[in-house]
Amino acid sequence: MTNSVHIAAELGPNPAPLVELVWALFKKRGLKTAKLHLLTNARGVAFSHELYQGFGLFKAAYGWSPDLSDLNVVTGSDGRAIDQDMCPEETAAWMDARWDNYQRAFDAAGPEPVVFAIAANRARSVLTTGMYTLLARPQDLCLEVRVDEPRVLGGKAGFYFPDQGGRCQDAHGFIDPSKVHVHLIEHTLPRLRPLLEPEQLGSYAAALQGAQSAVERSRPVRISWCVSKREIRVNDLLVPLTPSQAIWIAALCLERLQGDGWVEGKDLRRFRQVRRLEESAMPPLPNPRSKVFDGLESDAHLLDDTSLRKLKAQARSKLLGFCEWAGLAPLLLLPHKRREGGSSFQRLPVPARLITVLAEGNVPFPGVHSPEG
């Protein structure tokens, strides 16, 4: 396991938390910080003076300090350094610069963890956590440090880490740095990077759009079966199925509502129940002209196996095409498969509470509902 990390952060008027973070990683987790990848504004050079001072004390105490050479200033479209982010153009420039800063950290770190550091101020913490959610790899961390002595908050009193030596001082007197406790806080957040295509990692805007699209594709799927029209709708969109294919999907819906969800393809029980419901509709629906269902109106116990396999494959293909057209993740709709004792079973992945059987329009079919409601 690696004992080295890289830190990506913003450098603001109070650099002390960056030194505190490097100290906490080293003392509490045994991790040395190889390099800080810092982003700052037009006044960043002035802020860096205290940073160098803090790491000078750190090197005197431990004999090493991280590489501080990667300090980048945010610039606008005109190439000039940005001081604030008070307008949409400046905010966009900051977001792009943050994205690029993390990418530089990844390139330098290789397989080593990158720490997304919440170090500038709490107001910007939401931006750091947002970047982590979009960009973080499994090994990366989102960390911040907190101190329990209010007198050293905000870079006051010259405090950087507990064993820096000497004494700190503010307007109220001296402070013993060894008495100040530095707490390392790790934030557990979702990671959306696996949902993004490689080309979507090229910019913040592309990643944001890609993540939103992936989330939309993963939204819950609702199925409605209108008995009187022999229609299957998913999220209110009509699925273009043949009558025979619609009966197969309806049989899967009924088993999800009233059984364990698994339908053996050749078993007539659910298919006959579908037909009974259709025949009770006004007006009654005729049996589809299909070899698959010839046995429904006879004393047969099983459907024609060859024709049924073809029907299920065609219905699956229709569902897959529908998912592509509607922007849905196929795994949310395509029936699951299993084999047992030489028999083939399928089950819809949609839970019973999201399946509705309708008589006509939006009127529920009487007596057909989920056990959950």
- Cβ-based neighbour number of residue 228 at 10 Å: 19
Question: CA-CA distance, 4 to 112, in Å (whole number)?
Answer: 7
What value does the mean pLDDT take over residues 252-270? 86
pLDDT at site 364: 80
Average pLDDT of the segment spanning 50-58: 94
- Residue 367 reports pLDDT greater than 80: no
Q: Do residues 287 and 294 make contact, with C-beta atoms less than 8 angstroms apart?
A: no
Whether the predicted pLDDT of 84 surpasses 50: yes
Q: What is the mean pLDDT of residues 76-92?
A: 87
Query: Kind of pairing, strands 32-40 and 67-73?
Result: parallel
Mean pLDDT for 249-264 is 91
- Asked if residue 205 lies in contact with residue 213, where contact means CB atoms within 8 angstroms, the answer is no
| Those residues with Cβ within 8 angstroms of residue 320's Cβ, 6 or more apart along the chain or in another chain | 330, 334
**pLDDT score at 283:** 78
Residues written for the chain: 373
At residue 73, the 3 state secondary structure works out as strand
Distance between CA 104 and CA 100 in Å, rounded?
6
pLDDT at 373: 44
DSSP 81: B
Whose tokens are 């295509």? That residue is 197
- Across residues 333-337, what is the average pLDDT? 93
Q: What is the gyration radius of the CA atoms in the chain, in angstroms?
A: 31
Query: Mean pLDDT throughout 159-181?
Result: 91
